[in-house]
Copies of this chain bind each other. A is one copy, B any other.
Amino acid sequence: MEVRTVDTRERILDAGERLFMAHGYEGTSMRQITGEAGVNLAAVNYHFGSKESLMQEVFRRRLDWLNEERMRVLDALEVEAAGQPVKPSAIVDAFFGTLLRMAGDENRGGMTFLRLLGRTLTEPSEFIRAFLAHEYQAVMDRYKEALFRALPEVPKAEIVWRFHFMLGATSYAIAGTDALRLVTDWQIEEEDSTDRLDRLVPRLMSFLLGGLRAPLPQF
* Contacts from A to B (Cβ < 8 Å): 21-24, 26-27, 118-119, 121-125, 129, 132-133, 136-137, 140-141, 144, 156-158, 160-173, 175-176, 178-185, 188-189, 198-199, 202-219
Closest chain B CB from A194 CB (angstroms) = 14
Instruction: Assess whether B27 is in contact with A125, with CB atoms less than 8 Å apart.
Output: yes
Instruction: Assess whether A121 is in contact with B172, with CB atoms less than 8 Å apart.
Output: yes
Interface of A is mostly: helix
Tallying the copies of this chain within the complex gives 2
Instruction: Assess whether A214 is in contact with B219, with CB atoms less than 8 Å apart.
Output: no
With a cutoff of 8 Å between Cβ atoms, the chain B residues found around residue A166 in the complex are 169
Q: Which residue of chain B lies nearest to A183 when distances are taken between CB atoms in the complex?
A: B164
- In the complex where A169-B169, A182-B132 touch, is A219 in contact with B206 (Cβ < 8 A)? no
Closest chain B CB from A97 CB (angstroms) = 12
Closest chain B CB from A211 CB (angstroms) = 4
Instruction: Assess whether A165 is in contact with B160, with CB atoms less than 8 Å apart.
Output: no
Show 6 residue pairs from A and B whose CB-CB distance is below 8 angstroms, ordered by the A residue. A24-B125, A119-B122, A122-B172, A158-B203, A161-B207, A168-B173
- Complex formed: what's the CA distance from A136 to B183 in Å? 9
With a cutoff of 8 Å between Cβ atoms, the chain B residues found around residue A180 in the complex are 164
Q: Which of B123, B156, B162, B179 contacts A207 (CB 8 A)?
A: B162
